[in-house]
Structure 1
Amino acid sequence: MRPSKRDELVRKALEVFYREGFHATGMDRLSEETGISKTTMFKHFRSKDELILAVLRLRDQDFRNWLFRRMEQAGAPQAQLLAMFDALAEWFSSPRFRSCMFIKAASEYPDPGHPIHAQAAEHKRLLCLQLSKLTAEAGARDSVQLARALLLLKEGAIVTAHMGHETDPAGDAKVVAAKLISDALT
């Protein structure tokens, strides 16, 4: 099935916002980059913020589906938790890697009450829920605490990869994660 003009706009806008940032990308630039007129954009979205929210929802869906599928391939819950860092290493090595769109969104919209900030925070909450489920299935004594620690390692690895001052931030985080998981299961 051919994507709708709205879906096409959201997918193309995701690429531009991810590469350029939210505030740095105006509607004129989006129109130029996507080939979709501003008139058409405003038929689908009342404001740039509404478009950004749609972009974040799409990115959330795409990223979590990719990450969780990648993790599930590892098998047992404990292996899945560690596979998260292997998936991150693949992402970091991609020439299209530009850090985390949700970290960037929360940074550009720092008010926690702003819908864009809230959407970014929701993405992280959903990741933590999945990690909590896996840590519980793995038999962790305090599955929520372990999930939060693993999420912190994941986020730190993303920022470190973005900054570019370490050669293997996902691998470094995986080493620490393995120790945390081992300690939580004994």
Structure 2
Amino acid sequence: MTPMTQTAGRARDAGATQSSPVRERILAAANEYFYAEGIRAISADRLIAAAGVSKVTFYRHFPSKDDLVVAYLEGRAAVERHALEQLRAQAGHAGATLLAIARAIADMSCSPGFRGCPFINAAAEFADPAHPARKAIATHRAWFATFLKDLLGEMGIHDRDAVADQLIILRDGAMVTGYLGPDPAALTDRLIKAGRAVLNAARANTAGDVSP
């Protein structure tokens, strides 16, 4: 959901215990083509040609296309997590972090070459929730929910599960909306206002809680 998730060739296989220039070259090709054209639309042969490797070399690193898809998604997740942690470190407190995330989402969603959230796009291509790709997506979205809940906890908000879900819904909707056309300034303004409405309602509910 941050600007760098759209940059071709930057994803890394977070689950790999060992990397190599050849493996990285295959992943870079997958990162570019899977995101730009869709996972199912890109054959292994096309990636082999793009990466400039032999079939034997390709399948030595990725025994199946599913293995490569999972590595692609885990690489995207690793880049996004690093970006979010950086935003948090730079912002200094929870409210500023959420504001920075909203601005990053809007900027990215309206930028050239953006074609939606890579995780939502991938989920749409794999209907079976038991598929390894869907499991990788679920793992990353669970991490993001926990990240948001940590920020909400710093803000003293009680119903963190529900509020985090609401913020994720705003995030997902903003990415679709940005892809379909609004300018970054308009999307940023609307997303920030919607996020503040969610947080203000959560603060009001928290203030109204009666402790035993």
Q: Does 1:157 align with 2:174?
A: yes
1:139-150 equivalence runs, <5 A: 139-150=156-167
Q: TM-score, normalised by structure 1?
A: 0.90
Partner of 1:166: 182
Name the aligned partner's letter for residue 192 of structure 2.
K
Unmatched 5+ stretches in structure 2: 1-18, 205-212
Q: Which protein has greater RCO, CA pairs closer than 8 Å, 6+ apart?
A: 2
Percent identity, aligned pairs only? Answer: 35
Following the alignment from structure 1 to structure 2, what is the Cα–Cα distance between the partners of residues 92 and 174? 14
1:73-152 equivalence runs, <5 A: 73-152=90-169
Q: Which of structures 1 and 2 has the bigger CA Rg? A: 2
Partner of 1:54: 71
Following the alignment from structure 2 to structure 1, what is the Cα–Cα distance between the partners of residues 69 and 143? 19
Following the alignment from structure 1 to structure 2, what is the Cα–Cα distance between the partners of residues 3 and 92? 32
Deviation at 1:184, TM superposition (A): 1.7
Q: 1:59 to 1:95 in 2, by over 3 A?
A: same
Following the alignment from structure 2 to structure 1, what is the Cα–Cα distance between the partners of residues 103 and 152? 17
Deviation at 1:72, TM superposition (A): 3.5
Q: TM-score, normalised by structure 2?
A: 0.80
1:85 and 1:171 in contact (8 A); partners too: no
Give the number of equivalent residue pairs: 184
Superposed CA deviations along residues 63-104 of structure 1, whole A, max 9, x for unmatched, are 121133124422211221122111112212432322111101
Following the alignment from structure 2 to structure 1, what is the Cα–Cα distance between the partners of residues 114 and 31? 13
Q: Does 1:181 align with 2:199?
A: yes
Following the alignment from structure 2 to structure 1, what is the Cα–Cα distance between the partners of residues 189 and 23? 39
Superposed CA deviations along residues 90-129 of structure 1, whole A, max 9, x for unmatched, are 2124323221111011100011111111111221111111
Name the aligned partner's letter for residue 185 of structure 1.
R
User: Which range moves more in the overlay, 55-64 or 94-103?
Assistant: 94-103
Following the alignment from structure 1 to structure 2, what is the Cα–Cα distance between the partners of residues 39 and 20? 25
Partner of 2:15: none
Partner of 2:210: none
